[in-house]
Amino acid sequence: MQHRKPMALALALAWVAAGTSHAQTTSAELDQIRQEIQAVKQGYEKRIQDLENRLKQAEQAAQQAQTTAKQAEQQAQSAASQAKESAKQSEKVAAEAPAPQQPASPSSFNPALSLILQGGYYNSNQNPNTRSITGFLGPGELGLPERGFSLGESEITISANVDHLFYGQATFSIEDGVIETEEAFFQTTALGHGFTGKGGRFFSGIGYENSIHAHAWDFQDDSLVQQAFLGPNFGIDGLQATWIAPLSKVYVELGAEGGKPVEFPFADSDQNHNGFQVATLFAHLGGDIGVSHSYRFGVWAMNADNNVTDQPLAALDFTGVTNTLTGGNDKLWGLDFVYKWAPNGDPSYRNFKFVAEWMQRKLDGTLTYAPGDPAQQTGSFEATQSGWYVQGIYQFHPYWRAGLRYGELNEGSYTLGSGLAGAPGLAPPDFTPKRVSAMVDWSPSEFSRFRLQYNQDKSQQGITDNQWFLQYILSLGTHGAHKF
């Protein structure tokens, strides 16, 4: 909750800064130039619209295209020659601005459309439906497929510029009749000054792995700590603002988000109230070292209501009875680091990627031990838990990569209120969930990938789960651009 005010302030500041920095003046001359540019801009929008319309017509008749381009060219030249006339000047200089001679190919999609096909084979001695992470709240999505052959999520992404101000994108995942809206957001393109705003449903910008879609992960599954605290991709229905510092030689990004969480671990039917149920802040620092090395550091914090009623704390039920938590609140914070190496900065033949993340969660609320039972007790409850992972991926051949990952969780400690003093066994288990993963994948083109992965999963007390995955990820349609 402490984050809410700064969050609102940051958003407000973003808008104010974007709006007012135009107003700075240094001299009368500069003022005049600005006014002229403003006039040029206004005329320019309209002119471009006209030119675009004409170019569209030109697409239909190939011959017309040439004439239209020539006309545009002539206008451009006449504009250049008369650039100093004041009244008509703005309109014509605008015509000098971009007038592509070749229209975009009719084969290019608008909007861009892509489809990801995923699926594979899973082998394990353990039933995936009974697996959970010992000592951690919630279903602790281990992200395991059914054993044997199964179809994974098919992902459809549609994106395009909405107009001259906004870009829009939606990603739907389809799995056996269930369609989920993974992301559906609009993003500003014209705020300038380093600001970008986003609204709708989107993956939160916290951490590294969180905002990466499953098909672009380096392993079949996400890391143990990601699964325990955030689920596959922690999404928000709300707003995001980011700002890139104008430093040119170093990348500094500041971001803030606010809204309603989409899924585990925070969302539930009781989130129906005003204001923000979750707020985040994040910062990134990155750059290159020479031509072959690049890196990015991140730090983030999140505050979320966990205002659930009667949520059975399955993970805390090792006491042998059911517990429920009410009036909960979650605070998370974390650090992330990505480093990439490619000889001469060319990843085509060989490259290496290293990722490390650490995060900590503080969950508090009012715990009712064994509700409805004569032994029922109620008191304040606080659990502080953490986890981390490191992974390395080496591409040793244009088509082949191999990777290793290790992650573990720290059960942490519970702080109990006086009302719970007599609750037996209400302490974190003496157990460290951990998982080691190894994978090798083959990508004969940028559009297909086949992966073999082995996990030794010790996330549930008393169980060593040897998991084998065979996976395919195929991408059809528009060539997507990937984040760093």
Partner 1 sequence: MKALLSLLGLTALLAWTGPAQAVVNVFACHPEWGALASEIGGDRVSVYTATTALQDPHKIQARPSLIARARVADLVICTGAELEVGWMPVVIGQAGNDKIVAGKPGNLEAANYVQLKEVPQRLDRSMGDVHPRGNPHIQWDPHNIQLVADELAKRLVYIDPAGKAYYDSRLASFTQRWAEATKRWEQEATPLRGIPVIEHHKELTYLFDWLGMPVVGSLEPKPGVEPTSSHLTELVQQQSSRPAKLIVITTQKNPDAAEWLSGHVKIPEIALPQTVGGTPGAKDLFSMYDDAINRLLAAEKPKS
Q: Which residues bind partner 1 (CB under 8 A)?
A: 44, 48, 76, 80, 83, 93, 96-98, 100-102, 104-105, 107-108, 161, 164, 167, 187, 189-196, 242-253, 284, 286-288, 291, 294-296, 340, 344-349, 398-399, 444-447, 476, 479-484
228 vs 393, which CB is nearer to partner 1? Answer: 393
Strands (E), 48-191: 112-123, 148-151, 154-161, 166-175, 178-188
Contact 403, 394 (CB under 8 A): yes
The CB-of-80 to partner 1 minimum distance in angstroms stands at 7
Separation CA 237–CA 239 (nearest Å): 7
52 vs 268, which CB is nearer to partner 1? Answer: 52
The 3-state DSSP class for residue 270 equals: helix
Q: Find, among 267, 282, 268, 212, the residue nearest to 10 by Cα.
A: 282
The 3-state DSSP class for residue 54 equals: helix
108 vs 129, which CB is nearer to partner 1? Answer: 108
Q: Report the largest interatomic distance among the alpha carbons of the chain, rounded to a whole angstrom.
A: 93
Separation CA 145–CA 472 (nearest Å): 13
The CB-of-123 to partner 1 minimum distance in angstroms stands at 31
253 vs 305, which CB is nearer to partner 1? Answer: 253
The CB-of-337 to partner 1 minimum distance in angstroms stands at 12
The CB-of-484 to partner 1 minimum distance in angstroms stands at 5
Separation CA 94–CA 36 (nearest Å): 12
10 vs 191, which CB is nearer to partner 1? Answer: 191
Backbone angles phi, psi at 421, to 5 degrees: -55, -35
The CB-of-343 to partner 1 minimum distance in angstroms stands at 9
Contact 252, 278 (CB under 8 A): no
H helix or E strand, kind and range, residue 457: strand 448-458
105 vs 130, which CB is nearer to partner 1? Answer: 105
The CB-of-404 to partner 1 minimum distance in angstroms stands at 21
The CB-of-6 to partner 1 minimum distance in angstroms stands at 20
322 vs 443, which CB is nearer to partner 1? Answer: 443
Strands (E), 262-376: 278-289, 293-306, 311-312, 323-341, 351-369
44 vs 469, which CB is nearer to partner 1? Answer: 44
Q: Find, among 162, 294, 188, the residue nearest to 242 by Cα.
A: 188
Backbone angles phi, psi at 130, to 5 degrees: -105, 5
**The dihedral formed by the CA atoms of 342, 344, 349 and 350, expressed in degrees to the nearest 10:** -30
217 vs 399, which CB is nearer to partner 1? Answer: 399
The CB-of-454 to partner 1 minimum distance in angstroms stands at 27
The CB-of-477 to partner 1 minimum distance in angstroms stands at 9
119 vs 480, which CB is nearer to partner 1? Answer: 480
Separation CA 317–CA 151 (nearest Å): 33
287 vs 419, which CB is nearer to partner 1? Answer: 287
The CB-of-483 to partner 1 minimum distance in angstroms stands at 6
Contact 377, 425 (CB under 8 A): no
Q: Find, among 12, 396, 359, the residue nearest to 207 by Cα.
A: 359
Separation CA 111–CA 104 (nearest Å): 13
The CB-of-380 to partner 1 minimum distance in angstroms stands at 42
Contact 291, 345 (CB under 8 A): yes
DSSP alpha helices (H): ranges in 82-191? 89-96
284 vs 435, which CB is nearer to partner 1? Answer: 284
The 3-state DSSP class for residue 39 equals: helix
The CB-of-398 to partner 1 minimum distance in angstroms stands at 5
Separation CA 356–CA 407 (nearest Å): 9
User: 427: which DSSP letter?
Assistant: S
